[in-house]
Amino acid sequence: MSENRLYQKVVFFAIWLVVGMLLGLAFKEQTRIRTAELPSARLPELARAYVQEKQANAALEEQIRQLRQRINELETAFASGAKQAEVLSKSLEEAKLIAGLLDVEGPGIELVLRDSTRKPTGESLEQLLPELYTIHDYDLLRVVNELRQAGAEAISINGQRIVATTGIRCTGPVVYINDVKMASPFVIHAIGDPKTLIGALEMPGGALSDIKSVDPKMVELRALDKVRIPAYSGPTQFRYARPVPPQEVQP
């Protein structure tokens, strides 16, 4: 009996960990769009990026609502004592899948973004803004957001799984993803409907449109019948956040 209660506590903790991760992402995305510094050549896209961020946050809130509903179902199942082991096992698997803690595979796309090899000359806008020829953190963030909006169920960059706590930031000439240092080229894999994902990425005014306008060779995009994306392997411990007891959770 004691082992069963311990198992239940472990599953509850795993599920609330996922909820906390999703809430953290929503907060981080809202903060990032307020503080992001985009090159002046791309400022007209700021309004559109803001709308995308709001849509992404709405999707995250819906996932959180579904997780809370699932927790209520678990509590009901525990109270009735029916098929507890089966419910626990299935729910733990679902929580791990949502949190990105499982290897996954399916149809999707492969996108390669690389720095340009062109050498701009003269007094052109490109010469005055050489950073346009480099892939930056905000380029990767826009691509990730557009893939999520298009229904991507799993995303990775250079083998790093993108999860709720993933940070993408530039430090000098390199980009850190999940605190792993990497540089161009960036190979992005996403699982979902290939036509939908490609259509979202190639829409006019999108992230790839801006990059291609500088140098089309900076972008390679193709559909794949099978994409394999590894599980998130970074830290999952929370130092300060603690689960709220079920009786204190607001509906």
- pLDDT higher at 247 or 40: 247
Q: Which tens digit of pLDDT belongs to each residue from 18-47?
A: 656 665 655 555 555 555 544 554 555 666
Considering only 147-151, 207-211, 240-244, which range has the smallest mean pLDDT? Answer: 240-244
Question: Quick one: CA torsion of 241, 247, 248, 251, rounded to 10 degrees?
Answer: 110
Can you give the pLDDT at residue 99? 84
Q: Which of 90, 221, 98 is nearest to 153 (CA)?
A: 98
| Alpha-carbon distance values, 17 to 96, 163, 237 (Å) | 10, 12, 9
Q: Which tokens sit at 190?
A: 């996403």
Q: Which tokens sit at 118?
A: 């062109």
Question: How far apart are alpha carbons 225 and 206 in whole angstroms?
Answer: 24
Question: Could you give the domains of the chain?
Answer: 2-100 (no CATH), 104-229 (3.30.70.1880)
- Residue 223 pLDDT > 70: yes
Q: Which tens digit of pLDDT belongs to each residue from 72-116?
A: 777 676 666 556 667 677 777 888 888 888 999 999 999 999 999
**Burial readout 48-58 (b: 16 or more C-beta within 10 A, e: otherwise):** ebeebbeebbe
> pTM score, two decimals?
0.65
Summary mean pLDDT of the chain: 79
